[in-house]
A and B are shown apart, each in its own frame.
Chain A
Amino acid sequence: MDTLFSPLGDQAIVIELGNKINEQTEQAVRKVSALLESRQPEWMIEFIPTFATVAVFYDPCLAAYEGVKMELESLLIHLGDDIPAESRTVEIPVCYGGEFGPDLEFVAQHNKLTPREVIDIHTSGNYSVHMIGFAPGFPFIGGMSGKIAAPRRDSPRIRIPERTVGIAGMQTGVYPIETPGGWQLIGRTPIRLFLPENDIPSLLRAGDKVIFKEISEDDYNVWEENPDAKNA
C-alpha cells in the first residue's frame, strides 16, 4: 500500500491511502479508522475518514508533526490484510416524486426515462456508503446506476428539507438536516439519519450497505408520525 503523509495545518496530519475512489482504497480507509479507534494515541484528538484519506487531528503540545508521522507509520504496520468488521445493511424507505422529489421529472428527462423507470432503477442499486461528511450524518452513497446519473443544479437551493434524497453525478445521498445544496431531489425518507441523542449520532457509517425501498405517501405519513412503525 502506497501511503503518503502531509500536514493539514498545524494540528492535523492527512494519511493519503490512494488517489481514486475504489474498493481497495476504501477498505484501507476503514482499516486505518478501526486501528485508530482501537489504539487511540494519546496525542490524537479525533480523526476524519473520507474517500481516500484519513485526517488525524492531534495536540502539537504533546507531539510535533514529525513525531506524529513516525508513530502513525509504525502503527500502520499493524494493518493486516484481514477483512474489517462485517458490514451492516440498512434499508431506507423513500417516498419518491411529488413535493418530496421535485427533480424526479428532471432526472427522468435528462436520462430519457420515465419517472417510474428512475424509481425502479434507484431502488434496485447495489449501494454502499463511501463516507460520512459535509453535514451531520450525510452519507455519500456509491453504487448507483449510471442510467439515472444527473448533474448538480447550476445554482444550489437555499433550503433543502431534512431527509430529502438526492442525486449528484453518479452518487446518491440523503440530506439529514435542512441545509443549502445542489443535488437533484428525487424523494424523501421518513427515517432520521442524524441522531444527536445517540452515542453514534449517524444512522449510517462508511462501509454500510444500503437498500432504497419505495413507499407510498400514506405509508410515509404513518411512518413519520410514528417512527417506531417499522412495517408501515
Chain B
Amino acid sequence: MLKMLKGGLQTTVQDLGRTGFQKYGVIASGAMDPFAHRLANLLVGNSEQAATLEITLVGPVIEFHEDALIALCGGDLSPKVDGDVVRTWRMLKVTKGSTLTFGKPRVGARCYLAIAGGIDVPKVMGSRSTYLRAGIGGFQGRSLEKGDELAVGQVTKQQQALQQKIENEFDWLLPPARYFEEPVIRMMPGRQFDLFDRDSKKRIFSKAFTVSSNSDRMGYRLEGSKLSLETPAELISEAVAFGSVQVPADGNPIVLLADRQTTGGYPKIGQIISVDLPLISQLKQGQRLRFKEISLADAQQRLIEQEQSIQKIGAAIQLKWEEWT
C-alpha cells in the first residue's frame, strides 16, 4: 500500500487511456507521456497497461507500507527516497516505511511512478485512468490528496523473488528519453490546413510559440504568431485526436492532449505526430517550441520504429530480470 503524506500539485492515476468509448463522448484520458508510462511499467516487470501515478511539477510525498519495486520515468522532478537522491529511468527497491519525495522540476513537467503489481484501483469503462472533469476512474475520480491510501495489485512470482533478493539499487538504467528546452515538434498538416491563409501556413512552421499559463491535461494554448483563415468558415463538428492543433477565432493555436474532448468545431491546422507527443506533454508554461513539417508516411514509419524499439527495450529488461532473479 502507498500512503500519500502530501498530494502534490496534481497527482493522478493513469494508464494508457479509455478506448472504445469516444463514440459516446467519453474522453480518452490516459498518461500525457505514454512513452515514459510504458517504460516505467516495463522496468518493474508490469504490463504496459498497468496503472501508474502521473506526477506533475510539484511532486507528492509518498510513504510505502510494504517493500516494493518502483521506477520513475519521464520528467526529472528531483526524486529522493528517504532523503537520498535517486535516478529516474531505472528500477529501485524501496523498503517498508520509506518515503519518496520530490524537489525542483529539472527536466520536463511530468514523472511516472510505476510500482510492481500496478496501482490497484477499479477499472471504469476498461481503464484505470482518472478523468477529472467527470470525476470517474483512478482514485475516486480525483487528484490524490493527503491521507489517501492506494492499494497495489498482485505481484508476479518473478517480481516477488526479485523484491526479496535485492538490497536497493540496480546498477543499470535506460537511456532517458530526451526532452528539450525548446523542442522542434514534428507536425503533419491538419484536415483544414488549406483553409488557412498563406501567411499562417508559413508561420506555423517558421515561428516559435510559447505555452501559455492557460494549459492543462485537456490542452495547451500556444501564443506567438496569430493564425487566420483565408475566409471565415463555419465548420461542422468532427472528431479530434491526441495532438490535434486547432485554431479558434482568436488565432492562438490549441494543442489537444490526453483529456481532450472527443469532437471539435475549430479548424485543425496540424496534427502532432504520435512519437513527438511526449515532447509537448513535458513542456511547462512559458516554454517555447517550434513545429516542423513531416509527411504521413514518415510519421507512421517513426511510430513503427518506436514500437520496435520499445519491444527491444522490453526484451532487454526481461533479460536483466532473468539475470537478477
Q: Which of A1-56 contact B (CB under 8 A)?
A: 6-12, 14, 19-21, 33, 45-53, 55
- Select A134's contact among B262, B271, B274, B300, beta carbons within 8 Å: B262
Chain A residues, CB < 8 A from B125: 196, 201
A134-B25, A135-B25 known; 10 other A-B pairs, CB under 8 Å?
A10-B300, A11-B241, A61-B307, A64-B300, A65-B297, A65-B300, A135-B27, A136-B25, A177-B133, A202-B24
Known: A10-B273, A46-B22. A53 touches B239 (CB 8 A): yes
Q: Are A50 and B136 in contact (CB under 8 A)?
A: no
Chain A residues, CB < 8 A from B236: 19-21, 50-52
Q: Are B136 and A196 in contact (CB under 8 A)?
A: yes
Q: Are B188 and A136 in contact (CB under 8 A)?
A: no
Chain B residues, CB < 8 A from A194: 25, 134
Chain B residues, CB < 8 A from A19: 236
The number of inter-chain residue pairs (CB within 8 angstroms) is 140
| A57 and B263 alpha carbons, distance in the complex (Å) | 14
At the interface, yes or no: B124 with Cβ under 8 Å from chain A? yes
List residues of A whose CB falls within 8 A of some B CB. Answer: 6-12, 14, 19-21, 33, 45-53, 55, 57, 60-61, 64-65, 131-138, 140, 176-179, 194, 196, 200-202, 205
A93 to chain B, nearest CB (A): 21
Q: Are A10 and B134 in contact (CB under 8 A)?
A: no
List residues of B whose CB falls within 8 A of some A CB. Answer: 19-27, 124-125, 133-136, 188, 191, 236-244, 261-264, 268, 271-274, 296-297, 299-300, 303-304, 307
Q: Are B263 and A9 in contact (CB under 8 A)?
A: no
Chain B residues, CB < 8 A from A132: 23-25
* 6 A-B pairs with the lowest CB-CB distances in the bound complex, closest first: A133-B263, A55-B239, A9-B271, A202-B24, A48-B239, A10-B299
Chain A residues, CB < 8 A from B135: 177
Q: Are A49 and B23 in contact (CB under 8 A)?
A: yes
Q: Are A55 and B24 in contact (CB under 8 A)?
A: no
Residue in A closest to B24 when the chains form the complex, CB atoms: A202
| A49 and B242 alpha carbons, distance in the complex (Å) | 17
Known: A46-B22, A60-B300. A14 touches B191 (CB 8 A): yes
Q: Are B188 and A135 in contact (CB under 8 A)?
A: no
Chain A residues, CB < 8 A from B271: 7-10
Give 29 CB contacts A-B under 8 Å: A8-B240, A9-B241, A10-B271, A10-B273, A10-B299, A11-B241, A11-B274, A12-B241, A20-B236, A21-B236, A33-B23, A48-B239, A48-B263, A50-B263, A52-B236, A55-B238, A57-B22, A65-B297, A131-B263, A133-B237, A133-B239, A135-B134, A136-B24, A136-B25, A136-B26, A138-B25, A140-B237, A200-B24, A201-B21
Chain A residues, CB < 8 A from B239: 8, 12, 14, 48, 50, 53, 55, 133
- Select A45's contact among B19, B124, B191, B300, beta carbons within 8 Å: B19
| A53 and B235 alpha carbons, distance in the complex (Å) | 12
Chain A residues, CB < 8 A from B20: 45-46
B34 to chain A, nearest CB (A): 12
| A1 and B188 alpha carbons, distance in the complex (Å) | 28
A190 to chain B, nearest CB (A): 19
Chain B residues, CB < 8 A from A177: 133-135
| A137 and B124 alpha carbons, distance in the complex (Å) | 15
| A46 and B307 alpha carbons, distance in the complex (Å) | 20
Residue in B closest to A201 when the chains form the complex, CB atoms: B24
Q: Are A7 and B262 in contact (CB under 8 A)?
A: no
A10 to chain B, nearest CB (A): 4
Most chain B CB inside 10 Å of its own CB: which residue of A10, A51, A64? A10
| A179 and B243 alpha carbons, distance in the complex (Å) | 22
| A214 and B191 alpha carbons, distance in the complex (Å) | 42
B291 to chain A, nearest CB (A): 14
Chain A residues, CB < 8 A from B300: 10, 60, 64-65
| A206 and B237 alpha carbons, distance in the complex (Å) | 14
Chain B residues, CB < 8 A from A33: 23
Chain B residues, CB < 8 A from A138: 25
Q: Are A137 and B25 in contact (CB under 8 A)?
A: yes
